[in-house]
Structure 1
């Protein structure tokens, strides 16, 4: 059994004290990310996958290998009919989330963990509002990056290290989008666009770190390198692979995202930097270990760097992650910690840490970035919040 490092986000002893009955998940979607969720659920005590809905036979076979006791069903309705379920997890393609949430609300409103992005179509805001106003059970939006140990420490220590963040930058230099079933992640109409599909994680971190709401987003982006020679029944992918986004917040602070999806040669995949009148704090997050070349030796370890102005002297701290957690997924151990805390909510202890409002705001910021990149104008994300 994995024994996580002690820390603000691990709460190992707290969860042990709360062990009650088995928490049994029903999962919608068992592709690459769904399987990561399943592997991490399997590491938690008194927690299991009871049933799942996955229409692709190949992905379903992989899911069954991870959770052999789980029952495969043929539809969302069939999943909701499984009596043993205590909670639900949506890990389907982005554009399916809203319809599946509505189906769940109309049939069986269990505690719900929804993968990001919460929605992809600006026209779905009214549906999301109706869902929010009527859903009687806890809803948690999956923002795994909050729970990466090094980012958790970055967030915890940022105010003291900086004297109050004035500017924040997030750099992600990574690999191109991976292949998904049906290649849905190649097109804006299914993903919401790259700034929505994957960068909502970073917009969420910006809001959380700043403790403020976004006023305007300015972005410049392009599909510069990736997927240009691909063809899907005559359709060429239209997702961006590189760009910048600047966000102004209502407390006078600002943040910037730098994205490049043809930079997998980097030692670190994500780099965060927050600066204030007292100093700077940085977090460095390695990419998935399975992509690190063997000939380079051991993969990099996450690290946290604090750089006070007075007295000057950067201090570097390695933030290792349990190897079992690194093997269980591509997100630096965060999926385990997220489920640890969500399962406690399912047991009736505590409330969701990443709310529907959080997930909604992150998507709105991504939509504003997509629109700004398209038009060349600053965009107010509040129109979609």
Structure 2
């Protein structure tokens, strides 16, 4: 049976916009009919990447009135999300908006208010949920492998923030801060694994290594490059994030652990191939360590290399789009809700505040 075609209009065709285009092209019946970006070079390369039939616009407002599409993808810089969403939500088309939903909690709440007037769904792009090793960890936890869950640990040791057009990602005012911009993914995962709401956040972080010699007309970069964050949940589960953004020599970029009274379950996720010594994709792994046997059971989690090569997020962008396209075609409720996006920003903003003040923040 032939599926209904889904045509995307993409707002923001930078690095992440390009990743979305590569993944959309892998999906049957999906295409990019239009891209919008004020940067001429990014706009042109995105249009070529999208292929025949893709129109290009310097202004997304012109695209909204001048192109034909079935869904909107917002991948513009974080600080632009609020204004873009205000402009496009009136079209009542399905929207996939990149994380973070917005850079501030007030802006997230404003979007939530606008969404109440819409029929079409809004999905927040929390790609990390859809990494195959993360999906496997969630399955093990849900099936009771760990027993009663008590602790969650997420370690991300990775490369520094990459070069972006206009270097907007060097400043907290435009990103929301590292613990919002980068780490909302992890606070979302903590909440998903714990199946509970966060109640308290404590963070210690600093800008110690990256971008110390950079200067811009608006000043010096002010984004954290390392932090520890502890999150307490209402059901008694506690979680910790260990972030280092000057550790691209690490074999595993992320290690996610869920520990209960019966076992620990670990997901081991390598970084993108372009940061590996030989430029090749590496296989992720899952491990289960039961207390009863004291024997670790470890196995590889294989992902098609064409999917891995389409982006920097271990296949998650592809699997997310597959689910989003199904929502566009058949209707229903987004797996990642606007409230999920809002809470992840709330925790990230609380962590930024805690790192600045040295005080725990109650939510």
Q: TM-score, normalised by structure 2?
A: 0.97
Corresponding residue for residue 199 of structure 1: 183
Once the two structures are superposed, the pairs formed by residues 11-26 of structure 1 within 5 Å of their partners are 19-26=2-9
Corresponding residue for residue 257 of structure 1: 241
For the 8 Å contact 1:344–1:350, the answer to whether it is kept is: no
Match of 1:128 among 93, 100, 111: 111
Corresponding residue for residue 58 of structure 1: 41
Once the two structures are superposed, the pairs formed by residues 339-378 of structure 1 within 5 Å of their partners are 339-378=321-360
1:225 lines up with 2:225 in the alignment: no
Instruction: Count residues with an aligned counterpart.
Output: 361
Give the superposition deviation at 1:105.
2.0
1:337 lines up with 2:329 in the alignment: no
1:183 lines up with 2:167 in the alignment: yes
How has the CA–CA distance of structure 1 residues 211 and 345 changed in structure 2, closer, same or farther, with 3 Å as cutoff?
Answer: same
How has the CA–CA distance of structure 1 residues 58 and 74 changed in structure 2, closer, same or farther, with 3 Å as cutoff?
Answer: closer
For the 8 Å contact 1:26–1:50, the answer to whether it is kept is: yes
Corresponding residue for residue 99 of structure 2: 116
**Residues 79-137 of structure 1 deviation map (CA, whole Å, 9 limit, x = unaligned):** 2114521000000000111111110123x120000000001123324422322322221
Give the superposition deviation at 1:220.
0.2
SS at match of 1:310: coil
**Residues 175-202 of structure 1 deviation map (CA, whole Å, 9 limit, x = unaligned):** 0000000000000000000000010000
For the 8 Å contact 1:89–1:114, the answer to whether it is kept is: yes
**Residues 342-369 of structure 1 deviation map (CA, whole Å, 9 limit, x = unaligned):** 0000002442100000011001000000
Once the two structures are superposed, the pairs formed by residues 202-351 of structure 1 within 5 Å of their partners are 202-233=186-217, 235-294=219-278, 298-351=280-333
1:79 lines up with 2:63 in the alignment: yes
Give the superposition deviation at 1:234.
5.7
Corresponding residue for residue 87 of structure 2: 103
For the 8 Å contact 1:173–1:262, the answer to whether it is kept is: yes
Provide the C-alpha distance between the structure 2 equivalents of 1:130 and 1:200, rounded to a whole number of angstroms. 21
Provide the C-alpha distance between the structure 1 equivalents of 2:109 and 2:129, rounded to a whole number of angstroms. 27
SS at match of 1:361: helix
For the 8 Å contact 1:51–1:72, the answer to whether it is kept is: yes
**Residues 315-362 of structure 1 deviation map (CA, whole Å, 9 limit, x = unaligned):** 001001111011110010111100000000000244210000001100
For the 8 Å contact 1:267–1:300, the answer to whether it is kept is: no
Match of 1:67 among 50, 73, 77: 50
RMSD: 1.3
Give the superposition deviation at 1:67.
1.0
Provide the C-alpha distance between the structure 2 equivalents of 1:124 and 1:286, rounded to a whole number of angstroms. 34
| Structure 2 unmatched runs, 5+ | none
For the 8 Å contact 2:34–2:67, the answer to whether it is kept is: no
Corresponding residue for residue 135 of structure 2: 152
